[in-house]
Structure 1
Amino acid sequence: MKLLHLSDLHIGKSIGSYSLLEDQKFCLDQILEIIKNEKIDIVLIAGDIFDTSIPNNEAMKVYSDFVDEIIFNLKKKIIAISGNHDSGKRLEISKSFFEKNSYYIFGNSFDERLTFEDEYGKVNFYPIPYISLARAKNEIDPKIENFTDLYKILLKNIDYKDRNVLITHCYANEKPFEDEKIEGEKPLTIGGNDAMDAHLFKNFDYVALGHLHRKHFVLDEKIRYCGTFMKYSFSEINQKKSVTIADLKDDLKIKEIEIKPLNDFEKICDYFENIVKMENSNSYLEFILKDENPIDSPMVKLKMKFPHAVSISYENSIDIENEEALDIDLENLSVMEIFEEFYKFKMDEKMGKNEKEIFKKVIE
């Protein structure tokens, strides 16, 4: 049985002021070709289908078209769960209709099992959507303190006969009480420890994980994050995005197929005068200017050449978090005096007469 592992689609996501829907459709079309060419039997979607709990109509249509193509035209099955970005209850609307058409969605239920067969026998699928600790305490057990406690309860009645596949959305870690710094993903809890003990998954034949955007495995190659199919932040610039195929026979075989982006993500660090001489680019761009003095309306100028310019910062900007670096008496100084102090700190020189006149006009 051939499984295609997807997660963290984040349909409807934006970067800066730009919608990524066209980029997402471009990648999803590649995935449809992979499903067809690789003769995939079941598509697994391990949560965060949408970027928000209430997606707009355009995002819903992109996902609906993707699902329709898989189940009606390609005649394949889908098992999908909700993630921490999704509304589980909304995803399960028309659940019985979907299941009659080979689309099995689990947004709010966490104790179900699906069984399918191939020439090697049965394969049991356990879909466990994202469950908040607050909900777990209220509906499952008030003694639950962390995600390891939660999964110990959710998995306790599995006998692991035949082949077994888990689809879930969580932060599985080799060291469950040590959170690593995770960029680009919304935390599962506020101020708590998100990690859970990945050792609980070792008896499964394959574990399709969602939540982390970087593709990697935890403890064992069969316990995998497939990662996002495209880049969603500038922290992911150096990552190659792909989808994962798990072929469940006597021995598990794993294959990754790269997905090409419509528009890539790039960082450019240089002087403004050098940047404006560069070739035009459609990539999503983060600019870091080396200039000592501020440039007048830099984003307006850059967008004429780079239509997907996302953000601009200065390499030598002030570390505002360092309270000792900039000590200004905000209560007893005028707005002009405060800005003069700021200017002196930033530029290492006093404001000139022209600069003062300009700032006076701004205040007015």
Structure 2
Amino acid sequence: MKLLHLADLHLGKTIGNYSLIEDQKYCLEQILEIIKEKNVDVIMIAGDIFDTQISSVEALTLYSDFIEEIIFKMGKIVLAISGNHDSAKRLDVNSKFYKANNYHLFGEFKDEVISLEDDYGIINFHLIPFISLNQGKILFDENIENYTDIYKKILKKRKLKDRNVLISHCYANKYAIEEENAYNLGQKPLSIGGSDAMDANLFMDFDYVALGHLHNRQFVIDPKIRYAGTFMKYSFDEVNKTKSVTLIDLTDKLEIEEIEIKALRDFRIITGKFDQIIKEESSDDYIKVILEDDMTIENPMAKLKEKFPNIVQLSYKNRGIFDLENDFSIDLSAKNSLELFEEFYKFKMNEKLNDEEEQLIKKVIS
């Protein structure tokens, strides 16, 4: 049976002020072609389908069109779960209709196994959506202390006969401890103030484990326990990464293939002097600029935007150029809000507020 492992679609995501819907549509169209060309039987989506719990109409439409193409036009099976970015309850709306059309979506945890059959026998699919620690206490045991405990409770009841595939959304590693640099910039952790990690050794009895949550493609302990990663770049710490989806051929053995997905627009970091950068070839890539100038440039973002319409971020390598040349010292306790603003305005503009400006500031303060 051929399985396609997708995860962390984050449909509806933005970078800076720019929507990535067009870029995501471009990538999803490639994935549809892969499903056709490789004759994929089952598409697995390991959580974080959407970027926010209340998704935009554009994101909902994009996902709906993608799923409808797969289940209605191609006649394939989809197995999907919620991630920590998704609203589990919202995803479960219409679940009966979905199930009747070979789209098995587990928003909230269900103690069910989906069994499919091919020439080599039965494959049991175990779908475990994201479960927070608080939910774990309510569902399983109030004494649950970590994510490893949650998975121990769930898997203890599962009898692994025939071939078994797990689809889940979690942070799994060999030691169940936090690893430095595990998360990409902008990734939302599973919990606040505690450890996200769980013990991946619990997954060793499965024939394949399709994981979601970490954005870099990688395996944990064994190549069969795998993060597919995002199908496109979502942050500037991924500039040198190649993005892909994972194809699994599960017969009486396991074969894994990573298939590259091309981006509509790339993520790039440009470093250099302003006068050099402004002469570069125009690009609609998503750009982060780091200026190496020794003095601040007047309105550099607007000027660079003419060359790079999708510029996202601009910073100076030498932060010291923002140090004030003169000390600016005020006795804060001795002045009211208006007086503080007047002092600051005089310092920055080298002139006093006129009467009209003073009245305007008074109105704002009040």
TM-score (structure 1 length as normaliser): 0.90
Q: Is the 8 A contact 1:330 1:338 kept in 2?
A: no
Moved more, 164-173 or 178-187: 178-187
Give, in whole Å, the separation in 2 of the partners of 1:11 and 1:318.
39
Root-mean-square deviation over aligned CA pairs: 2.3
**CA deviation vs aligned residue, 1:25-69 (integer Å, no higher than 9, x gap):** 000000000000001000000000000001011110000000000
1:264 equivalent to 2:269? Answer no
Kindly tell me: are residues 327 and 192 of structure 1, through their superposed partners in 2, closer, same or farther at Cα, counting changes over 3 Å?
farther
Kindly tell me: are residues 33 and 359 of structure 1, through their superposed partners in 2, closer, same or farther at Cα, counting changes over 3 Å?
farther
Give, in whole Å, the separation in 1 of the partners of 2:309 and 2:12.
20
Give, in whole Å, the separation in 2 of the partners of 1:153 and 1:179.
24
**CA deviation vs aligned residue, 1:99-143 (integer Å, no higher than 9, x gap):** 111110000123110000000000000000001101111221101
Which runs of no fewer than 5 residues in structure 2 stay unpaired?
362-366
Q: Could you say what secondary structure the match of 1:155 adopts?
A: helix
**CA deviation vs aligned residue, 1:73-101 (integer Å, no higher than 9, x gap):** 11100000000000011001010101111
Q: Could you say what secondary structure the match of 1:304 adopts?
A: helix
Report how far residue 297 of structure 1 moved. Answer: 1.2
Pairing 1:101-250 to 2, within 5 Å after superposition: 101-181=101-181, 182-184=183-185, 185-250=187-252
1:69 equivalent to 2:69? Answer yes
Q: Is the 8 A contact 1:10 1:49 kept in 2?
A: yes
Which of 292, 295, 315 lines up with 2:294 in the alignment? 292
Q: Is the 8 A contact 2:295 2:321 kept in 1?
A: no
2:364 matched residue in structure 1: none
TM-score (structure 2 length as normaliser): 0.89
Kindly tell me: are residues 274 and 142 of structure 1, through their superposed partners in 2, closer, same or farther at Cα, counting changes over 3 Å?
same
Give, in whole Å, the separation in 2 of the partners of 1:183 and 1:359.
47
**CA deviation vs aligned residue, 1:191-250 (integer Å, no higher than 9, x gap):** 110000000000000000000000000000000000000000001111100000011011
2:24 matched residue in structure 1: 24
Q: Is the 8 A contact 2:174 2:220 kept in 1?
A: yes
Report how far residue 317 of structure 1 moved. Answer: 1.4
Question: One-letter code of the match for 2:205?
Answer: N
1:347 matched residue in structure 2: none
Kindly tell me: are residues 304 and 135 of structure 1, through their superposed partners in 2, closer, same or farther at Cα, counting changes over 3 Å?
same
Q: Could you say what secondary structure the match of 1:246 adopts?
A: strand
Q: Is the 8 A contact 2:345 2:351 kept in 1?
A: no
Which runs of no fewer than 5 residues in structure 1 stay unpaired?
321-325, 341-350
1:357 equivalent to 2:338? Answer no
Q: Is the 8 A contact 1:25 1:62 kept in 2?
A: yes
Q: Could you say what secondary structure the match of 2:55 adopts?
A: coil
Give, in whole Å, the separation in 2 of the partners of 1:359 and 1:38.
72
Q: Is the 8 A contact 2:46 2:81 kept in 1?
A: yes
